[in-house]
Amino acid sequence: MTNTHDELADAFREKRIVVGVTGGVAAYKTCALVSRLSQAGAIVTPILTESAARFVSPLTFEALAASPVYTSMWERIEAHDPQHIAIARRASAMVVAPCTMNCLAQLAMGLASDVVTLVASAIDRARTPLLLAPAMNAVMWRQPATQRNIASLRDDGFAFIGPDEGWQACRTVGPGRMAEPDTILHALAGLLR
């Protein structure tokens, strides 16, 4: 085992990490993040928007996390009611990756219209870190509304990682590419320390 592996294991062992996945092509990268968290000893709870489930199957996340996947505000997987409060209370940290332009806007406006924004709205950010990993087209990233929402979310105590600059699915190069899973993993470990 390397020192980095030991450090990650120390940061994540028995920690309850909620991984919110929204509807962007970068959702495929989140599979690697969930796998790495599980390997580091975290108890991972994946939650996916309906749009995210169009990019990556909930079954993939269930297999990687060895845990049930939440895909609806209305579905009851556990006996706890209300479910979103129970998930938020148990969380050691939450990460939303990818965090789309739409998700950023919803969180900035205080809207909870899907399972990811609902759970995120129930996280007590004074005790539980909430990390956002934005991913979108470079033009969408540069929009004044997006930049206002990011400033507002930072003021509200949300943490950010990325986005990176690079090749995007729209066949352009620019800012808006989701940070790599290892970068997100290390940022999340830093927030937990």
Mind telling me the catalytic residues? 170
Distance CA(69)–CA(19), nearest Å, equals 10
Long-range contacts of the stretch 106-114 (C-beta < 8 A, 24+) = 107/132, 107/149, 107/153, 107/158, 108/148, 108/149, 108/150, 108/152, 108/153, 108/156, 114/22, 114/49, 114/50, 114/73
User: 141-146: which pairs have CB atoms within 8 A and are 24 or more residues apart?
Assistant: 141/101, 141/174, 141/175, 141/176, 142/175, 143/101, 145/105, 146/101, 146/104, 146/105
Q: What distance, in Å, lies between the first and last C-alpha atoms of the chain? A: 21
Q: In this structure, are residues 17 and 93 in contact, taking their beta carbons and an 8 Å threshold?
A: yes
Cβ neighbours, 10 Å, residue 186: 17
Between CA 99 and CA 178 the distance in angstroms is: 8
